[in-house]
Structure formats: structure tokens, C-alpha cells
Structure 1
Amino acid sequence: MPQPTTRARRTGHLGYSETLPREPQSAATARELVRDALTAWGLNDLAEDGALAVSELVSNAVQHACRESIRVVVERTAARAVRVAVADFSRAKPAVREAGDGDEDGRGLFLVAALAADWGTDERRWGKVVWADLEACG
């Protein structure tokens, strides 16, 4: 089982990341990583929003990406802000779409947009990184 890695970031805080298999069960591991990082930083009030956002990003990567792995990254970007991100090997950009009343999926990025102060996609030569920035109140 892969272990999460930590690395000091420009903000002076450790960043957390883990490479996971591109399978639905990885969403649970990603949620745990986000909760652990936010607890370590004393940002417990962001833990549930962060866990939900990363779960949706992982689910999107599992459904639409290629290759067998994804990478989850959690970074503290400011005293009361974090970025959760999922890197995958697909260059196809995600898009928020309107889900119908009977649709069982299609609401993930809409939910991420509602939870996050900002979200987006950074293109890479090998694929992309989809991220969500979360900010704590006060």
C-alpha cells in the first residue's frame, strides 16, 4: 500500500500527497488524507468540505482519466486556506454540466464549485491537475 508523502511548501507548511490506484475505492483514502492534513494544520472547520471536494475530484478522475493511477495533493496556501488537487494522465478538461432530475451523476463539479472559493484545471505535458481552493471563515 503506498504511503502519503510530505514535503515543505513555499508557505512553510508541509504539503501532503499520495499516489492512488484509479479506482472508486481511492476516494475514501483521499478523504482520509485531506482530513488528516487539515487536522494537522488545525483547520478542522474545512475538513468535511475538503473531504467532499476531493472525493468528487477523485470520482471524476476515476471515471474520465486514463492510466492506472492518480495523485492527490493537499497544500496549505495561506493561514486559513488550502488547495486540494487531483492529478491524472488525461488532457481532457472537466466541465460543470447541468444534471437532470433523474441523472445519477453529473453533479460533482457543480458541488466542487459550490464548496470552493475557486477551482480550476492546470494543464500539464502529461495530463492535468484539477484543484479546488477552500477558505475558512474568520
Structure 2
Amino acid sequence: MQVLQVQLEIRPDPAEVGRARRWARSRLAGSGIAADEPLAETLVLLVSELVTNAVVHTGCPAVLRLLLSGGPAGAATTVRLEVADVSTRAPVPRCSGDESTSGRGLALVDGLADRWGWCPEGVGKRIWCELDRCATAVETAETVASTGCGRSAPAYEGLAQGAYGAFGGVAYGAV
């Protein structure tokens, strides 16, 4: 199996979120994942959430990585998204009230990704998520063993879907 890895350095500036989305879209298109494919749309939303968290909550530079593992005929079967930063603060999921304008990012990640987690890396941490092109995969011990990280967040039944419906087409539609 072939794995393509690309990365982008992110400055601690909110304008970097839009740049990260555009970069991710172009890399996905270059790997054969069409921009209008649900996988691409979901990945761009996940990029938005994880990069926003890094920019807003750490105030430090970060590195965004996309890893695309290829299956038969070079088609991407799993896409892994990682954001590494130098902050040692662990990502903390929050439950936000109806009127809150923030605090739903990790709930979205939990609801949209097939797998996600975080682990210490060097002087900071790495938060990651994976999407399968055919969303039939189940997290296995193999995934944890290969990444060195385990899933660290509780399930948010219904919360991610509600937040995505409220913000999916408005906050993340424009680049």
C-alpha cells in the first residue's frame, strides 16, 4: 500500500484557516478525490476545525498533514489528517449551550471522523482524525498500534449532528 504525505506550515493567525482549507482541497483533488465528493467536503470541514483549534487555543505555529493511503489502482482508501503544534495543552471537548458561538469543534470531529485521537509529540502534541473512503471500517487495535495514539474523546451522540446542521453551510461554506 502506498501512502502520500503532504504538509503545510500554519502561522498562529485566523486567516490561516481559509488558506488551510484551500490547500487541503487542492491536495485532495490532486489525489483523485473530487471537490464535490462527500469525503472531500467532510475533510475540509475537519481541516477547518482542527486548524482553528490550533490557531485559537494555542497561539503557536502548527503543521497540518494529510496522509492518503492508496488501495487498488491508486485510489485513496483512508485519509488521515493531523495537526501538530508545540502546545502541551490537551484538546478538551466541551458541551456548549444553544447560544454559544464556539465549543463544538471536537464534537464535530467526533461525529464526522471514523477515528480520532491525540498524543504527545516532541515538545507538543498531535491531534489526528481519519476518514475511510468507504465508511465501513471499524476502529481496531491495529489502528491504535500503527499510530501510537489511542482514541481519547467520549462519544457525543447527536451533538455533532446538531452542530453540523447549524454551522455546516454558513460558517464553513466560504473560503
TM value normalised by structure 2? 0.68
Tell me the percent identity: 35
By percentage of residues, which structure has more strand?
1
The one-letter amino acid of 1:93's match is A
Tell me what 2:110 maps to. 113
By percentage of residues, which structure has more helix?
2
Determine if the alignment matches structure 1 residue 22 to structure 2 residue 46.
no
Structure 2 CA distance, aligned partners of 1:119 and 1:77? 16
| 1:76-114 per-position Cα deviation (integer Å, ceiling 9, x unaligned) | 135311011111111111122111011110001101111
Determine if the alignment matches structure 1 residue 88 to structure 2 residue 85.
yes
Q: Secondary structure at the match of 1:90?
A: coil
> Whose Rg is larger?
2
State the superposition RMSD in angstroms.
1.5
Tell me what 2:170 maps to. none
Aligned 8 A contact 1:28 1:55 in 2: yes
Runs of 4+ in 1 over 2 A off after TM superposition: 11-14
TM value normalised by structure 1? 0.84
Aligned residues: 127
Aligned 8 A contact 2:2 2:70 in 1: no
Structure 2 CA distance, aligned partners of 1:31 and 1:66? 19
Tell me what 2:127 maps to. 130
Determine if the alignment matches structure 1 residue 70 to structure 2 residue 62.
yes
Relative to structure 1, is the Cα distance of residues 131 and 47 closer, same or farther in structure 2, using a 3 angstrom cutoff? same
Determine if the alignment matches structure 1 residue 38 to structure 2 residue 28.
yes
Structure 1 CA distance, aligned partners of 2:59 and 2:18? 20
